[in-house]
Chain A
Amino acid sequence: MLRFLRPTAAEERSDAELVARFRQSRDPAHLSPLYLRHAEPIYAICLRYLGTPARAEDAGAEIFAVLLEKLPQYEVDNFRAWLSTLVRNHCLMQLRREQRDPLQRAAPGLMQSGELLHLIQEESEEKDTRPLHHCLKQLKEEQRQCIRLFYLTEGESYRSIAERLHLSMGRVRSHLQNGRRNLRLCLEKNQ
């Protein structure tokens, strides 16, 4: 539904074009496509710093007003990078007001998907994949099923796996994430 609601003509325009148009008109209607396009990163960065989806929603909504005010004031070459900084600073300021340590949230150590894809799908090469398969067997059943489906079956998505295994998409995402983490720990231990 969200896709329906997004203005289609704005889809093809680059960030720079949209920024230029807004700077000219200062019309909030011209900021809207830009905001909608980057809504997900805005929300996710807020989530990274503020820690809860509800707070991320609120802070992300405030960003629209901040953009309205600040975007006309700056020359922006790389909108995405500039926006990331803006969102990060907004969240840090909020945390500072609450006197919380912004660095207390450590990034979770994950095995990268690409690394795992490479390990699983490049079996024909000389690389020894026995530790990988040994570690796959150590995983919990649901994690193993999700990992096998996602990385060994072409075209499977979180959604398709969720439907196939009768799980919620969140559970699939969680199993994949935890499965990758456990795989990484297991492989490091066996090295």
Chain B
Amino acid sequence: MSAKSIRTEKLLRRYLSGDITAREEAELERRASADDGLREAMEGLYAHPEVEHDMAVKRMIGKAGAGSRVVAVSSRSLRITRYAAAAAVLLLLGFVAIWLPGQLSPQGETVAMTEGLQETPEAGSEKVDQAMESEPVSESNPARESVTMDSRELPESELPLETRPPQTSPVEPDRQATAKPAPEPSEPAGPVAGLSGNNVSSEAEAAEPTEELAEEVRVESPPPPAPPIPTTRDARKRQVPSARSEAEADVAFDDVPQYGVDRSAALFSGRIMDDDGQPIANALVRRPGLPLGQRTDSSGVFEIPADATLSEIIVSHPDFLEERVAIEDEAEDVQINLSQEEERRRQADFFGPTAAVTRIEIEPGRKTGYAAPLEGYSELRRRIEAGKPGGIEPGKVKVSFLVSPDGRLSAFKFRGRPSQATMDYIGNALVESSTWQVVKGKEPVRVYLKFRFE
């Protein structure tokens, strides 16, 4: 439709709603030049360009309708009522969708309790045997019983997380997500065994008296009432899986602040190392503008929530220079090397390359590895900084690249805009003269390095 064929009122309406194009606006102004009323109208609108005039017009129509009890207007208000009713229904549906998991959670608790009860007899707990007799709910539901039977047949280490079918509780994915951080903290290696169902019950028995008391309360009470809060909290602190299922009712609210991670969000993880390839523990990794972040564990590994807005992270540690790293691909494993300040670097050099080195073992089963040049980071950096050809400008150059498990280097990225000669030199030097390996990893690792040319 050409602008000329549109009614003036419609053009004006399009102007107010913002849908007008340049040609339509020109047509509106042309008409305004021949129509005093329209010209005045445009002058009025031009005087207040930033006001939402279309809303004001709606309000004006509303006021006019309210004052004159027009049939058409009343039919309009009837429609408004209908829209309002529809909106209310939608709101209600949304509300139900949010609260449904909460309402179903008593079932989840029942399942959790049933499982706990089925498992504990193996550990020989007489107390729970009695509880089973007084617990008709678990026997009246064959589906649930079959779940517990199945879980008894499987290896213990897989029990709590993987054997439960999804229909037993709608909060199941959440439970898996919350389970993930459990083995993460830098506890001395090994106690992964905490995942075993038998260990759970024996651990529960070995707990302090208040814990046992709470256990009894839980067993004797019928399924619907929520378990006592102290029990839930204590249990979660010990990260016992069965306790986690009991705590489903308040997990939704409590977990987010506890881990600082949205369970539905992806995690961006990486490893912080020093010049010698040693992991740096307790380094703070945060997003620009946010004071809080995550600290690296003893393996130098960190995990922060990743979303589409994550573009840069800041890594800081009192003993090292702060590093800002641009994130290109959140799915990549990254490895960031922090440099020490000059003074500390010199002190460190005093010990020389023959100083004792302790390499901290990464916990078994971790997919993420770390990359290291065979000659060591210090030597590599020194060699490349010393061997620079004449054309390289002095200054800092930050580079990142992917190290494949087979040792190949690819996808070089330079921060800022170093000269072509600098990029060529560093890229070639790394590719041709350094040998890299990915230790204990199956995925490529992105390594961030900084060179300082005098």
**Residues in A lying within 8 Å of B, measured CB to CB:** 1-2, 4-5, 7, 27-29, 31-33, 35-49, 51, 53-54, 56-58, 60-65, 68, 80-81, 83-85, 87-88, 105, 107-108, 110, 112-114, 117, 150-151, 154-159, 162, 168-174, 176-178
Contacts of B19 on A, CB cut-off 8 Å?
Answer: 157-159
Chain A nearest CB, measured from B53 CB (Å): 7
B347 in contact (CB, < 8 A): no
Task: State whether the Cβ of B47 lies closer than 8 Å to any Cβ in chain A.
Answer: yes
Q: A2-B61, A170-B50 are in contact. List 13 more A-B contacts (CB 8 A).
A: A2-B54, A5-B79, A28-B70, A44-B42, A44-B53, A45-B37, A48-B40, A48-B44, A49-B44, A61-B63, A113-B26, A157-B18, A176-B49
Are B9's CB and A38's CB within 8 A? yes
Task: For B28, list chain A residues within 8 Å (CB).
Answer: 113
Docked-complex contact A173 and B71, CB < 8 angstroms: no
Mask of B27-65 contacts with A, CB within 8 angstroms, 1/0: 111100101111011111111111111101111111111
Smallest distance from the beta carbon of A52 to chain B beta carbons, Å?
8
Docked CA distance A46–B16 (Å): 15
User: Contact check: which of A31, A63, A158 meets B20 at CB < 8 Å?
Assistant: A158
Is A65 in contact with B56, judged by CB distance below 8 angstroms?
A: no
Q: Find the B residue at minimum CB distance from A169.
A: B18
30 contacts between A and B (CB under 8 A): A4-B79, A28-B69, A29-B72, A32-B71, A32-B73, A35-B64, A39-B57, A41-B37, A41-B38, A42-B60, A44-B12, A45-B41, A47-B47, A53-B56, A56-B60, A57-B59, A58-B60, A63-B64, A64-B68, A81-B36, A83-B37, A84-B38, A114-B29, A157-B18, A157-B19, A157-B21, A159-B17, A169-B52, A171-B50, A177-B46
Give min CB distance, A5 to chain B, whole Å: 5
Given A114-B29, A157-B18, also A40-B47 (CB < 8 A): no
Residues of B within 8 A of A54 (CB): 56
Q: How far is the CB of B279 from chain A (nearest CB, A)?
A: 41
A173-B60 Cα distance, complex, nearest whole Å? 22
Known contacts A80-B8, A108-B43; is-contact A113 B22 (Cβ 8 Å): yes
In the complex, chain B residues whose CB is within 8 Å of the CB of A32: 65, 70-73
* Alpha-carbon distance A175/B14, docked complex (angstroms): 18
Is B323 positioned at the interface, with any CB of A under 8 Å from its CB?
A: no
Nearest first, the 8 A-B pairs at minimum CB distance are A84-B37, A48-B44, A170-B50, A44-B41, A29-B71, A61-B63, A47-B44, A32-B72
B76 contacts partner chain A, Cβ-Cβ < 8 Å: yes
Judged by a CB distance under 8 angstroms, whether B13 is at the interface is yes
Q: Most A CB atoms within 10 A — which of B36, B44, B52, B70?
A: B44
Chain B interface mostly: helix
A65 touches B67 (CB 8 A): yes
Q: Compute the total of residue contacts between A and B using a CB distance below 8 Å.
A: 190
Asked if A159 contacts B58 (CB within 8 A), the reply is: no
In the assembly, what is the distance between CA of A169 and CA of B40, in Å? 22
* Interchain nearest-CB distance for A40 vs B (Å): 4
Provide the bound-state CA to CA distance between A43 and B45, in Å: 9
CB distance from B264 to the nearest CB of A (A): 26
Which chain B residue shows the least CB distance to A86? B37
B17: chain A residues at CB < 8 Å are 159
State the Cβ distance, A34 to closest chain B Cβ, in Å: 10
List the A side residues contacting B37 at CB < 8 Å: 41, 45, 80-81, 83-85, 87-88
User: Which partner residue on chain A sits nearest B39 by CB separation?
Assistant: A107
CB distance from A139 to the nearest CB of B (A): 16
Is the Cβ of B26 less than 8 Å from the Cβ of A112? yes
If A56-B56, A84-B40 touch, does A36 touch B26 (CB 8 Å cutoff)? no
Note all chain B residues with C-beta closer than 8 A to A168: 50
Complex CA–CA separation, A169 to B23 (angstroms): 18
A31, A68, A107, A150: residue with the most chain B Cβ atoms closer than 10 Å? A107
Q: B41 near A61 (CB under 8 angstroms)?
A: no
Given contacts A155-B21, A162-B18, contact A46 B44 (CB under 8 A): yes
Q: How far is the CA of A110 from the CA of B50 in the complex (A)?
A: 16
Residue pair A43, B56 in contact (C-beta under 8 Å): yes
The residues of A that contact B18 with a CB separation of less than 8 Å are: 157-159, 162, 169, 172-173
Quick one: given A60-B64, A81-B37, are A41 and B12 in contact (CB under 8 Å)? yes
> With A27-B71, A41-B41, A44-B45 in contact, is A114–B50 under 8 Å at CB?
no
In the assembled complex, B25 has its CB within 8 A of some CB on chain A: yes
Residues of B within 8 A of A174 (CB): 49-50
Known: A84-B36, A159-B17. A43 touches B53 (CB 8 A): yes
